[in-house]
Structure 1
Amino acid sequence: MNNKFVYAPGPTDVRENVRLERAKVTTNPDVDEEFVEFYKCTCEKIGKIINTNNSIYILSGEGILGLEAACASITESGDRVLVIDNGIYGRGFKDFVEMYGGEAIYFSGNYDNEINVDELSRFLEKDHNFKYATIVHCDTPTGVLNDLSKICVLLNTYGVLTVVDSVSAMGGEEIRVDDWKIDIALGGSQKAFSAPTGLTFVSVSEKAKKAMENRKSPVRGFYCNLNIWKNYYKDKWFPYTIPISDVMGLDRAVQNILDEGVENVLSRHEKIADATRNAINEYGLELFLDGGYSNTVTALKVPENIGALKLKDHMLKKYNTLIITSLEPYNDIILRIGHMGENARLEKITYALNVIDNGLKDLGFKSDKELVTLFNKYLKD
């Protein structure tokens, strides 16, 4: 637990003012109605970032809680659910669907590119009898970004509800929940919002609420039941004790984004991501993706004679820097650069690129160029 430099696609660095906010003396969130107002205000601030007037709930649990809660709250036995699959987390939605009695049907795309919307459209022309569809905005293991503005609008034309995992994109990529007809959008505190791990936030449309309220059978379980939140503000009563310090920290992190300006934050992510990808290409490395690049995660292929795991271990041992690989089957192929949230800062990305450059050359990679110099070359004003 020494003071190592960590540069990963979440959890991200947490700004000092967020850490200090979590250290403040708190009230009792179970009985103090002022906290109910504070909580609702935080939800409304998140709504400004993701462009929605839908209800937003902050749940006590890491981002996976939101994914399961969405599936638990909508799925009934025998429901057909379209699982849009072009990444490890996209494919993983099947487990949640089936856990709650649904029938998961895959629409699969290549894992090195975004979902082809034309192919999805042709698929839906033949089969669109689905209660809802699951989509991952940015699939973190590869950094692939799917175009929600087309996918969710298309699904909406067939009356298919949409559940979107935007945990690794929200806050670093534009998301327009209302305009793009997203019924449930899921985010997490530890990614581009740069708050400590432990909270997930969920926006729920009126159509999604009706689907959850008009079930023929009750939701299995309590903690993953989004229906328990519907009257919290009217009743001034939470369904369980809220981790107040975590919410206070999240509120400060959200305010940091609003103070900088959402458009400025998105532009910062885009500039750093573009310069990173261009630098990697000119340096002589290969990006994992052929298209659908996210502005929050860049996945680069590590040469086979070195291996991603060996490079990761070497950088940690020699430079006290933790830059992580991917999940299986890519864990020895991909190194992931998580330029999201507070990690999307020039002083941090340049340090990470310098360590990657040195680490590769230590292990025998040949290049007469420097990643940081190339990054600065491509960085736009």
Structure 2
Amino acid sequence: MSRSVLKRAVGVVRGAASSMPRRTPSLPESANPPARLSLISRHLAPEYPINTPYTIERLPDTIDTSRLPKTQTRKLSYSATMSSQPPHPTLLIPGPIEFDDAVLQSMSHFSESHVGPTFVATFGETLTMLRKLFQTTDSSAQPFVISGSGTLGWDIVAANLVEAGEHVLVLGTGYFSDGFADCLRVYGADVTELKAPVGSRPQLPEIEKALSEKKYKMITVTHVDTSTGVLSELEKLSELVHRVSPDTLFIVDGVCSVACEEIAFDAWKLDGVVTASQKAIGCPAGLSISMFSGRAIKALENRKTPVAAYFASMNKWLPIMKNYENKKPSYFATPSPQLIHSLHTALTQILAQPLSERFAAHKAASDKIKKAVADLGLKQLASNPDDQAHGMTAIYLPETVKQAEILPQLAKRGVVFAGGIHKEVATRYIRFGHMGVSILDPRRGDVDRAVKALEEGLSECGYQKA
């Protein structure tokens, strides 16, 4: 084919693509999705209202502004230190979070064999660094990194560490602790939920009472429930569990807490922590990350029935993880080399400073944000300061302001918050995520810009502090 003919063919394809109408998917009014799906859809609050004009203040030199549609312009403001990333609204939801340039660049690593020596070495170092992040030196404990979301961690726990009919106590603090309970039931566990009112957590005396009344194979706690911003205290809870019910496994959902809240795996005698890559660890979504104690692995070995899972089977993954950490190639299912490279970079950055400094930085940013929220006359779902997470804030809206009004106002100012998803108060609040690079690199100005956008957006919606 001649060069001129090829150029004409490419032109036809491009022209056809550009002329195709863009369609916005919609559901019929009669659609009635299940409650959990309906609530989780609030994660997807529109960043840009359809058909709303916008203009872009700053664009890369490579963009031909003459080709921007004149009828769709909106004013967005961006940080002058948004590095090499294309201009975009600042993502301040409770995960995924904004990513550091070096982490994103790690994703562009050339393709390589997942059992080749270079990748095996990188994966092995990544697993070793996770031990430092979780603060464990126990050789019987084992980190796992498996392709999947944080929810895969629930399946791993439920499929491997509990057998059908065994009792599990789930401490309920919101939407995600409810989800953990649902997952455990799928695998046959006999689940008791000890739920707290919205914005609080079960208290130690009632937990002690529950543990005294029945023998539980496991207790689970959501360290930070992403739906409410409620922080659960782990150290005293662990002391209680080991005193009252020493044979009970202590499992932590740390999806919204690992790398922004302290977790001392050995010192607090934890048996399992499950998390994910896209929150405070600061990587793109796609990795389920967990740490299990030697005691948890012993419980797996002592099962009376086979594990009712394949991909989520710890028996399948345990030798793989051990081999990778010892720099030996191994295979069960294909990992994502690019995501592992990004995790390796993120962990290298995290461990370049004492973890105590990282936790203190998140607390300082959280205190600043929570004071700004109070200064605006707003309240948090977590009313007790001891129950407030340091990587996110769940904010009740004024009665006169609707969630569907304030989120677009924030988006117009280049800031993206998340809607509420707790079923009892879902439409009455919004969620502000503040973890990772957005608070660790103050030159970005993400927090100050978000607080200003919130103040201006509320004013635009007609709210004035009393």
Match for residue 260 of structure 1?
353
SS in 2 for 1:231: helix
Number of matched pairs: 365
Matched-pair contact (CA < 8 Å) for 2:199–2:383: yes
Q: Cα deviation per residue 1:96-118 (whole Å; 9 max; x = unaligned)?
A: 11111111011222231233112
The one-letter code of the counterpart of 2:340 is V
The one-letter code of the counterpart of 1:326 is G
Aligned ranges for residues 179-190 of structure 1 at < 5 Å? 179-190=267-278
The one-letter code of the counterpart of 2:392 is V
Aligned-residue identity in percent: 26
Q: Equivalent of 1:87, from 152, 165, 174? A: 174
Q: Which moved more, 1:32-41 or 1:59-68?
A: 32-41
Match for residue 176 of structure 1?
264
Matched-pair contact (CA < 8 Å) for 1:166–1:186: yes
Matched, 1:213 2:301: yes
Q: Cα deviation per residue 1:184-242 (whole Å; 9 max; x = unaligned)?
A: 11111100011101001110111111111221111112111112122123463131111
CA–CA separation in structure 2 for the residues paired with 1:243 and 1:331:
35
CA RMSD of aligned residues (A): 1.7
CA–CA separation in structure 1 for the residues paired with 2:333 and 2:430:
39
Q: Cα deviation per residue 1:221-277 (whole Å; 9 max; x = unaligned)?
A: 211111212212346313111100000001101111111331221111000101111
Q: Cα deviation per residue 1:255-311 (whole Å; 9 max; x = unaligned)?
A: 111113312211110001011112211221112212200101111111121122321
Q: Which moved more, 1:296-305 or 1:329-338?
A: 329-338
Which one has the largest radius of gyration? 2
Matched, 1:119 2:206: yes
The one-letter code of the counterpart of 1:27 is E
Matched-pair contact (CA < 8 Å) for 1:72–1:96: no
CA–CA separation in structure 2 for the residues paired with 1:169 and 1:181:
17
Note the residue ranges of structure 1 that are not aligned, 5 or more in a row: 369-381
Matched-pair contact (CA < 8 Å) for 2:172–2:201: no
Query: Given the two structures, how large is their TM-score scaled by the length of structure 2?
Result: 0.75
User: How far apart are 1:315 and its partner, in Å?
Assistant: 2.2
Q: Which moved more, 1:321-330 or 1:238-247?
A: 321-330
User: How far apart are 1:43 and its partner, in Å?
Assistant: 1.4
Aligned ranges for residues 95-134 of structure 1 at < 5 Å? 95-127=182-214, 129-134=215-220
CA–CA separation in structure 1 for the residues paired with 2:249 and 2:152:
19
User: How far apart are 1:328 and its partner, in Å?
Assistant: 4.1
CA–CA separation in structure 2 for the residues paired with 1:67 and 1:97:
8
Match for residue 337 of structure 1?
432
Match for residue 93 of structure 2?
8
CA–CA separation in structure 1 for the residues paired with 2:375 and 2:88:
32
Match for residue 380 of structure 2?
287
Match for residue 365 of structure 1?
463
Match for residue 349 of structure 1?
447
The one-letter code of the counterpart of 2:132 is K
SS in 2 for 1:106: strand
CA–CA separation in structure 2 for the residues paired with 1:359 and 1:285:
14
CA–CA separation in structure 1 for the residues paired with 2:420 and 2:354:
31
CA–CA separation in structure 2 for the residues paired with 1:185 and 1:309:
35
Query: Given the two structures, how large is their TM-score scaled by the length of structure 1?
Result: 0.91
Matched-pair contact (CA < 8 Å) for 1:59–1:66: no
User: How far apart are 1:181 and its partner, in Å?
Assistant: 1.3
SS in 2 for 1:269: helix
SS in 2 for 1:288: coil
Matched-pair contact (CA < 8 Å) for 1:299–1:337: yes
CA–CA separation in structure 2 for the residues paired with 1:193 and 1:250:
8
Matched-pair contact (CA < 8 Å) for 2:372–2:451: no
